[in-house]
Structure 1
């Protein structure tokens, strides 16, 4: 049985993915989440074979979550299922450890093919992503800005951009306020910004949060 977790903050998307999975013999949904923190909890508890993740997840975005899963549950194969097809987001997702990258504009047949491929431990990419990978092989690539962030800096950066106070971030992540301040300073330095509004604009541009 292929056990699959689905994380997307839109219920209608989760339902569509769940219906496709449940219509396929030998596949089952072992958990659903509407935010990244809950998805991480489910993954640690259920150890799914495949995790289908949106990138724009609240609390812990899909790229940061992919990094966590690669570190904590390296056997989980991540399929990023998103509307974001810009070069930097794709590159950051694959660098984080995703084994597949599918656009929400692709068909149900593509989603089924992607799940089948990851279930057989093969990668799967949308055609536009395959073109990007070919360009990368031929011409090389410049690492995305988010790749310079540590995992904890990514987590703190997203929570800051979502409007949380240092105190609340410390509580959510189980770290001290001083540690939050240290990660906040590092994230803003790496983002090349000096104020809260500038950092929010950076977060939106790089899909750390959605508006």
Structure 2
């Protein structure tokens, strides 16, 4: 008797792509699709109801992002395997997904064998990164670090402060970091409290005094602490 089937939930907001993945997995022995979701919020319910082994998760989703959905799923089910399958291959997206607890990261456009291998590896508790992103991760981790001002801030709070210095809005920060606007506002409130200021403008002024200014076309300081931003200016 062989090993049990790997139970999979697919979370992607494009119905045609979801259907293509399901058709692919239906042809693979040992993988069975037990549920589908079109957004992060519904994924939470589908996973709760079906108890899969692996969730194939897109990052750019309506409502809560794939990163936030991953974090919330793994809070409830730490043994769940999450394989990110996304168009994004920049360092920010990759590191955000891994910090959230994803075990695999494959870029859309990868061949079918790589996706199937990713599911099988994640189901066994292994970490698998597609060839398109593994080199980038190594470069990001090898980048030299620099001292961080405002040591009381968490990494996420510091990252959001950097983007506030650049003049980014709540919605733009949320989209860039794959967070909900509410989560961004909560982090901003925490930043203001820890810095002892009453407004974003005061926080930005304090950050600039500490040398965190980032003009147009410049990457924010955190990109020099271990990643390349991959963002573009509007």
- TM-score, scaled to structure 2: 0.64
Asked if the contact 2:91–2:140 (Cα under 8 Å) also holds between the matched residues in 1, the reply is: no
- Sort the Cα spacing of 1:147 and 1:72 in 2 relative to 1 into closer, same or farther, 3 A: farther
Give the CA deviation at 1:140.
Answer: 5.7
**Distance between the aligned counterparts of 1:137 and 1:2, measured in 2?**
32
Partner of residue 148 from structure 1, selected from 148, 151, 156: 156
The aligned residue for residue 200 of structure 1 is 171
**Distance between the aligned counterparts of 2:96 and 2:143, measured in 1?**
17
**What stretches of structure 2 of length at least 5 have no aligned partner?**
149-153, 181-234
The aligned residue for residue 54 of structure 1 is 58
**Distance between the aligned counterparts of 1:102 and 1:194, measured in 2?**
30
Encode CA deviations 1:37-70: one digit per residue, 9 max, x unaligned.
Answer: 1000111222210000000111111100111112
The aligned residue for residue 91 of structure 1 is 95
**Distance between the aligned counterparts of 1:95 and 1:111, measured in 2?**
21
Give the CA deviation at 1:189.
Answer: 6.0
The alignment's C-alpha RMSD in Å is 2.9
The aligned residue for residue 120 of structure 2 is 116
- Sort the Cα spacing of 1:148 and 1:107 in 2 relative to 1 into closer, same or farther, 3 A: same
The aligned residue for residue 21 of structure 2 is 17
Give the CA deviation at 1:80.
Answer: 0.5
Asked if the contact 1:191–1:199 (Cα under 8 Å) also holds between the matched residues in 2, the reply is: no
Give the CA deviation at 1:137.
Answer: 4.0
The aligned residue for residue 193 of structure 2 is none
Encode CA deviations 1:160-197: one digit per residue, 9 max, x unaligned.
Answer: xxxxxxxxxxxxxxxxxxxxxxxxxxx976852799x8
* Structure with greater Cα Rg: 2
Greater per-residue helix proportion: 1
**What stretches of structure 1 of length at least 5 have no aligned partner?**
150-186
